[in-house]
Amino acid sequence: MTAIDQIKQDIETNDVVLYMKGTKEMPQCGFSSRVAGVLNFMGVTYKDVNVLADADIRQGIKDFSDWPTIPQLYVKGEFVGGCDIVTEMTLSGELDQLFEAKGVAFNKDAADQIRAANA
């Protein structure tokens, strides 16, 4: 299976996938840590893919999305964005709306707490 095939399979079989440096339990960069932290705090169930463990996946995800940086968040097969976009969407409430529209369970109170802490 090629890296692209693996990526397609991951995003088709998981509602939420985060391609990141490190794991959701131990992120290996600040940007990955921020996105994983948001998802973890909001109680979102997601698959984490450590791009540092596989050079083909690391390059493959950049080619697949035509997005040059990691982390990359996918929700129901749709590329959402990287750290800056996810942060902006969290603070504006757009991430809540996306999760609601796609039927992804999350803790609304936790999302509100993030916004309150960053107001």
- Binding-site residues sit at 29
Q: Tell me which amino acid residue 23 is.
A: T
| Dist CA 88 CA 102 (whole Å) | 19
pTM of the entire predicted model: 0.96
**Would you place residue 27 in the very low, low, confident or very high pLDDT band (cuts 50, 70, 90)?**
very high
- Residue 23 to residues 67, 94, 109, 119: CA-CA distances in angstroms? 20, 25, 25, 28
The position carrying tokens 């982390």 is 71
The whole-number pLDDT of residue 119 equals 85
What confidence tens digit (pLDDT) does each residue in 64-112 have? 999 999 999 999 999 999 999 999 999 999 999 999 999 999 999 999 9
Q: Domains of the chain by range and CATH?
A: 3-117 (3.40.30.10)
DSSP state of 12: H
Of 44, 52, 43, the residue nearest 17 (C-alpha): 44
- Binding-site residues for [2Fe-2S] cluster sit at 29
The whole-number pLDDT of residue 39 equals 98
